């Protein structure tokens, strides 16, 4: 545990000392801020007209999911940026071999790095709670739905970071790791489309459901984002993290064995 914490502290310190981490957070918050203020402005304008024409108004519950939805989509770019250097850099600079000579096992090393990356993402996610607070000043958002939205976005982020870490362990090239990580996350994001395509084909009935269940969106967009907690969704994300970290550990072990 001490080793995990030591690796975690070292990595987290790196994030907060690195201007790139702030630049990523700045770009993300600027984009999300523009989206939020734009959608609030539009909603207020629409509601003023809706009062006159007796239309159904836009409520805070409809708006509350906008920012987390975009955030989890952008994770296909952000997560690889966060994780690309985690192991690839150690490999390239040859520090991995040195670290592996220390009295610690690979899993502690990987978990520590993962937790640091996840903490960085968690801080960004917590920053977006400011939009919930702002929304609360002008309307009444559904607190239960907000809880599941953020819980889901947090777990989703953890899973995506863990998956992206695999590629950082596979290759020494950070750009290649980022590219492959982005591609993997995007594929996992778009499985819903694959499932829809499969449902239109005359292949086995369960194939469509199987493809869909592999993907990330089926476990977030149709349930947690709407205010529904399903045990299988929570377990999916946790298992995704566990599985990805296990594979990453195996890859690091293989490298050590090769060396």
Partner 1 sequence: MTNEKQEPLIPPILLLGLGIASILVAITIAFTNSDNLVLALIAAGVGIGSLVGWGFLSQDQFSSVASGRALRFGGTSLLVTLIVIVALIAIYAGVRGLNLRLDVTQQENFSLPESARELITAYGNDPTQPPVRILAFYNDAASRDQATLLFDDFVQTSNNKISYEFVDPDQNPVIAEQYEITQAGQIAVVRLENGQPNLETALTVNSLSQESLTNTVIAVAALGDFRLYVLEVENGLSIENETPSGMSIYNQIITENYQFTTQSISIFDITSGTVNLTDPEADGIVLMIPGGTSALDDESLKVITDYLDGGGDAVIFADVNVEPNEESLATAPNLNEYLARVYGVNFTNSLVLDDRQNFQSLLAIVTNSFDPAHPVTETFASTNNVALLFDASHTLQFVETPPANVVLTTLVSSGPDSYSKSIDALAAENVEQVDTDPVGPFPIAIAAENQTNGSRLVLVGASNLLNNQSSQFSGSGVVNIDLSWNTALWTAGFFEFYENLPRGIRRDARAQDAPILASDNQLTLINFLSTLGIPFGILLLGGGVWFLRRSKVKES
Residue ranges in 148-167 that form contacts with partner 1 under rule CB under 8 A: 148
Q: How far apart are the C-alpha atoms of 8 and 2, rounded to whole Å?
A: 10
User: Considering the rule CB under 8 A, would residue 223 count as an interface residue with partner 1?
Assistant: yes
- The DSSP symbol for 12 reads H
Q: Which is nearer to partner 1, 118 or 131 (CB)?
A: 131
Span near partner 1 by CB under 8 A; candidates 77-85, 99-107, 153-161, 245-253: 245-253
Please pick, from the candidates 21, 86, 108, 117, the single residue that binds partner 1 as defined by CB under 8 A. 21
Interaction with partner 1 in 87-126: which residues (CB under 8 A)? none
User: Considering the rule CB under 8 A, would residue 243 count as an interface residue with partner 1?
Assistant: yes
User: Least CB distance from residue 170 to partner 1, whole Å?
Assistant: 6
Site residue total, partner 1 (CB under 8 A)? 85
Please pick, from the candidates 70, 173, 188, 194, the single residue that binds partner 1 as defined by CB under 8 A. 173
Please pick, from the candidates 3, 6, 14, 29, the single residue that binds partner 1 as defined by CB under 8 A. 29
Q: How far apart are the C-alpha atoms of 141 and 135, rounded to whole Å?
A: 7
Q: What is the torsion angle, in degrees rounded to the nearest 10, for the CA atoms of residue 226, residue 72, residue 216 and residue 189?
A: 120
Is the Cβ–Cβ distance between 117 and 161 less than 8 Å? Answer: yes
User: Considering the rule CB under 8 A, would residue 231 count as an interface residue with partner 1?
Assistant: yes
Question: Helix, strand, or coil here: 65?
Answer: coil
Task: Give, for 173, the enclosing helix (H) or strand (E).
Answer: none
Give how far Cα 213 sits from Cα of 20, 143, 217, 257, Å.
Answer: 34, 27, 9, 35
Span near partner 1 by CB under 8 A; candidates 76-84, 93-101, 154-162, 251-259: 251-259
User: Considering the rule CB under 8 A, would residue 180 count as an interface residue with partner 1?
Assistant: yes
Residue 1's Cα: distance from chain center in Å? 25
Is the Cβ–Cβ distance between 138 and 58 less than 8 Å? Answer: no
- x/- map, 181-220, partner 1, by CB under 8 A: -----------x--xx--x-xxxx--xxx--x-----x--
């Amino acid at each position: 545990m001490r080793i995990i914490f030591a690796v975690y502290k070292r990595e987290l310190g790196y994030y907060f000392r690195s201007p790139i981490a702030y630049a990523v957070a700045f770009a993300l918050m600027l984009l999300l801020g523009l989206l939020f203020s734009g959608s609030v402005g539009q909603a207020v304008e629409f509601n003023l007209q809706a009062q006159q024409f007796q239309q159904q108004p836009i409520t805070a519950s409809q708006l509350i999911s906008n920012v987390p939805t975009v955030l989890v989509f952008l994770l296909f770019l952000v997560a690889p940026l966060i994780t690309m250097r985690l192991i690839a850099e150690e490999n390239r600079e040859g520090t991995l071999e040195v670290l592996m000579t220390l009295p610690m096992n690979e899993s502690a090393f990987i978990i520590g790095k993962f937790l640091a990356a996840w903490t960085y993402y968690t801080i960004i996610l917590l920053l977006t709670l400011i939009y919930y607070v702002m929304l609360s000043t002008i309307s009444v958002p559904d607190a239960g739905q907000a809880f599941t939205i953020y819980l889901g976005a947090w777990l989703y982020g953890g899973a995506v970071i863990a998956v992206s870490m695999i590629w950082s362990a596979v290759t020494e090239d950070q750009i290649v790791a980022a590219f492959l990580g982005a591609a993997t996350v995007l594929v996992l994001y778009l499985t819903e489309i694959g499932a829809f395509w499969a449902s239109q084909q005359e292949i086995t009935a369960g194939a469509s459901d199987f493809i869909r269940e592999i993907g990330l969106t089926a476990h977030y967009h149709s349930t947690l984002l709407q205010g529904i907690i399903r045990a299988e969704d929570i377990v999916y994300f946790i298992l995704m993290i566990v599985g990805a970290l296990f594979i990453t550990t195996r890859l690091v072990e293989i490298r050590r064995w090769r060396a």
